[in-house]
Homo-oligomer: A and B are copies of this chain.
Amino acid sequence: MNELTDYIKKGIPLSDDIQNKLEEITVEKKVVKGEIILPENSNKKEHIFVASGCLRSFYKAENGKEHTLQFAIKNWWIGDYMTLYTNDKSVVSIESLSHSKILVIDHSNIEKIYLEYPQFEAFQRRNFERRIATLQKRILSLLTLSASEKYDQFVTDYAAFEKVIPNYQIASYLGITPESLSRIRKERINK
């Protein structure tokens, strides 16, 4: 297992001083399963850090179908990056898939911490470099793998969270239908 795969599975925990600072200007929030943390079409620009549990961001297409952009597990950040630096309203929704503990930090507040704590800026810069790597890895998967291969990879990378994430959401993350995923899972059992 290389460091990228390791990062995908575990994220990078905050150092104590940064976590303390973040908790100073925000509150660790407990959310329950199904709770919407950021709705679509919101004006909020927020960064969410997952202390425990599991969140997901998803895009709702015009035809009503949901497409999962990201699952965020312990030590991961999640937010609507696509509208962070625009005046547009949020394009994704973020919901909790389990009882979770999260830090919700407004973008303008986080910018203040960057100024105050250069080590946080450095931490995030490296963190973002790894995020770029995982996103590129996913793009390559979408470009090169069959439905069944994508599912294999998902199970490897998100093993611990399979129980929390319903299959239809896994399907929507992989870009396949729930029916196809069901067929793929059947093959696995039979062989």
Contacts and interface: CB of A to CB of B under 8 A. Distances in A.
Interface stretch (A28-36, A125-133, A154-162, A180-188): A125-133
Number of identical monomers bound together in the oligomeric complex? 2
A15 interface: no
Interface stretch (A17-25, A48-56, A97-105, A114-122): A114-122
Given A84-B133, A132-B135, 19 more contacts: A3-B87, A4-B85, A59-B143, A59-B144, A69-B139, A81-B132, A85-B133, A114-B125, A118-B118, A118-B121, A124-B125, A125-B125, A128-B129, A128-B132, A135-B139, A138-B139, A139-B142, A142-B142, A142-B175
A86 interface: yes
B81 A129 contact: yes
A65 B67 CA distance: 28
Given A82-B4, A118-B118, A136 B135 contact: yes
Contacts of A132: 81, 128, 131-132, 135
Interface residue SS majority, chain A? helix
A189 interface: no
A137 interface: yes
Interface string A55-76: 0000101000101011000000
Pick from A67, A81, A114 the residue with the most CB of B within 10 Å: A81
Contacts of A129: 81, 84-85, 128
A87 B4 CA distance: 10
19 contacts: A2-B86, A3-B85, A4-B85, A4-B86, A59-B140, A65-B144, A69-B139, A81-B132, A84-B129, A114-B122, A118-B118, A118-B121, A121-B122, A124-B125, A128-B132, A135-B139, A138-B139, A142-B143, A142-B175
Contacts of A4: 82-83, 85-86
Interface string A139-155: 11011100000000000
